[in-house]
Structure 1
Amino acid sequence: MSLGLDPAELLARARSDLRMGAAVVLLSGEEAALVLAAETATAARLADLRALGGVDLALTARR
């Protein structure tokens, strides 16, 4: 038995973390993005994110 999460569990974990206002790191090869859901972001978390450097706002087609 492996204690590691499978891809479906990792996705569910990321969704849950985003819904509760936590940031999630998305990886694709050598690229990475720190993602935070705008609707659950606190002012303090957003300020901490901005302090890291360039910030982009991305909206999905559903928004």
Structure 2
Amino acid sequence: MSKPNPERPADIRADTNAAPLTPGVRRHLGQNLRVLFADTLEAPPTQRLEALLAQLAKAKR
């Protein structure tokens, strides 16, 4: 018997009864995510990321 992996729950479902986020909450989340990932966006892409982007570009052609 295998143990359940807490990072990958077997039964993940969206709550269809959840209220949508208000514009103010969405704006707040967006601003905080931009601050959080600003350094990541400024860093040059790694070779692995460049290779993955090249694969995506080929797939679109």
Q: TM-score range by the shorter chain?
A: 0.3 to 0.5
TM-score, scaled to structure 1: 0.35
Higher relative contact order (CA 8 A, sep 6+): 1
TM-score, scaled to structure 2: 0.36
More helix by share: 2
